[in-house]
Structure 1
């Protein structure tokens, strides 16, 4: 298929989707993804980490002891699993549960495998240089029952039958009567307030990080005037309570992914803008590559012509003051030539940043800000991408993570 035809078809489909969706995609946000170093630890010092079973203490009201025990187990598993999943996803720290370093458990596995017909064997290797994450949780869990008095208004429209001159019947509206019906509807309200403390110990048992979140809360009302809302299951309560805290702890102790919002320059090529907002980044790249290449050629031609013009004027100037004024005018003339191209170069920088070509993105942002000194978003992008690239370079590849932190080892 012809390349230009394919891009045109893709753009046409995107425009149809935008129109059908009430142009909602015009507000679509685009993001660039970066791998960032730990926020709290100075170096990438942890390779292996055991998330110890969280200690959950529940102060209960409206639930019995058995239910509190069930909630405690669910909360502990949710916290452990969420920590392990996030660390595994980031790929820089190897998370493990307690079986990882439990020789007794591994011996039992070895016995089972020894009698199997699969021919597998288990080699027990003690966990070495393993950091530990200890999590303590305090929770006030309150479950109350009560009744909402709900008043419903019932309205009756009375009518009668009348006939017109031709004898055709029709309805005639009459009086309206209303009555109120009161209902007692039971409800269950769950309110949870808590505190989570995460403490990290290195492989020598030295505490290297601790953070407390004392404003955890969750509230849910099922029944009554809350409509058809169901009582929240315990895993949902755990997710709502702890997720934000877990996200922040992971970002503190581990290299992690962060997204940066990128704002498309609406003054650029409209087709490229539609492609970017439709996440057709490579099609937008192809389109803007042609546009920026042609723009560069036009800029060079116009700059050359302007140079000849102003060099002649400067040579013919009567005094230094006139020559200085002409040089300033020349610089403004160059900006007038390049200014209109700035949005397309900025949008090309956005595309290159999204697809991971950071150095190329920086070049386009620099050109966009040079072409139009008033383009503040391009200037900000130059500063931002330099900062993000510098931070990302501090993160080692997962396969190259050091076993020990030299700074810790020297203590």
Structure 2
């Protein structure tokens, strides 16, 4: 899928993280990629995160999944919205919606949440801490956008929804199938279904907070530290007042902390692993039977296409004469021929085998490792 007549440079310059933008159906041919019944089926699965929001206009009730199949038959006439996270992990046709937005680096992409709403359904005025492209898949939804919010913006009391107490709409649009609304972080917005069978695909992005980065980075460093690495002062001199923490001691202690934090190579390696950690690491994508190196060579010789798991995260970082490949929280140093493969597998979701046939065992070994981890697979014939 591609966006026709969409100026990426203009969008990044004038709109990205600055102001909302309505993009009227930019697809050459829009086809809704998911049936509502399939979405409801996913909401019944225990490994899939889902919510059912009942009500509207200030009286919302939330039920968390997995939902019983019989629940949908008992919804009645009250407006309702079903929201299912990471649908792209389970439905390849939905995962294809990410491709048009890959002018944003992959490590920033979170997942695609899909919502299905009946007439009047919505989740109320709110704001997010991340960018989102809201693609109208089916039916119609009226979107209003409003003020820039922050941590001090007053919220209504609710256990499950972060609803704004005050919403000052500045723009309003009615989205038809194929239309896209971009909303930057912290911009208030509210979407209400107009008619039944309203489906919206939310392509969300990640924006780690400073506190999150520091906390996880420090936790990772502490886990690897030797308890014998301690403060010492063999040149200690007598102080006039034993109650003082001297400037020399403070400088040494400060250096102990900051020197470790300031290692750029260590941070790069940690962030590569951290940023590619799966959103749902508890889900097991490993194959039923391990793949051998001989099977890898046979698949490649037979021309079997290599396909990335939509639930897996791939990134690489330039490292000296090669790159470090990061896949699902694991790192793989790639040099020489492996570097070319790492760059290509990060760029493409499907890899034709011809580029791998002449590669050495190091590449075949990496393919085997990724396949046995469940990050890639050889495409099966229908």
Same fold flag (TM > 0.5): no
Q: Which has the higher contact order (CA 8 A, sep 6+)?
A: 1
Structure 2-normalised TM-score?
A: 0.21
